[in-house]
Structure 1
Amino acid sequence: MDSKEYKKTLDFFDQQSHSCTDFEINLALKACISLNEYQCGMNIQKTLSQNSLNNPYIQATLTQFY
């Protein structure tokens, strides 16, 4: 994906964050990594449910993030 696609991913997440699936959350975190949007990634992490935090894919992406 190029930077425009990552930006679209984050825009979508911002609009739908209240109803995003773990898959979409994971994509948004990966977009933050690719765009060096660290504050955005930290904000996403703060809103994650315990269930999402226990998702192994999100855990792996958060490991990459930090």
Structure 2
Amino acid sequence: MNQTFKILGMTCEHCVQAVQKAILQTDNTAKIQIDLGTGLASINSEQPRSTLIAAIKEAGYDVTSL
């Protein structure tokens, strides 16, 4: 299922890669698109939203509701 998140604290491409890595460690088949400028991440994953949020937070970034 496709889910959208607003991720706070990303400032560079390295941050984007860190978030992608964290998500892929949770679901290695996830399809991820992140727009650094807006902070929006579109994630197609079968994992529950709470699991994806936990992975993003564990990587050091905050997530807000849309």
Indicate the TM-score class for this superposition, using the shorter chain for normalisation: 0.3 to 0.5
Q: TM-score, normalised by structure 2?
A: 0.33
Q: Per chain length, whose mean CA-contact separation is higher, i.e. which structure has more relative contact order (CA < 8 Å, sep 6+)? A: 2
Greater Rg over alpha carbons, structure: 1
Q: TM-score, normalised by structure 1?
A: 0.33
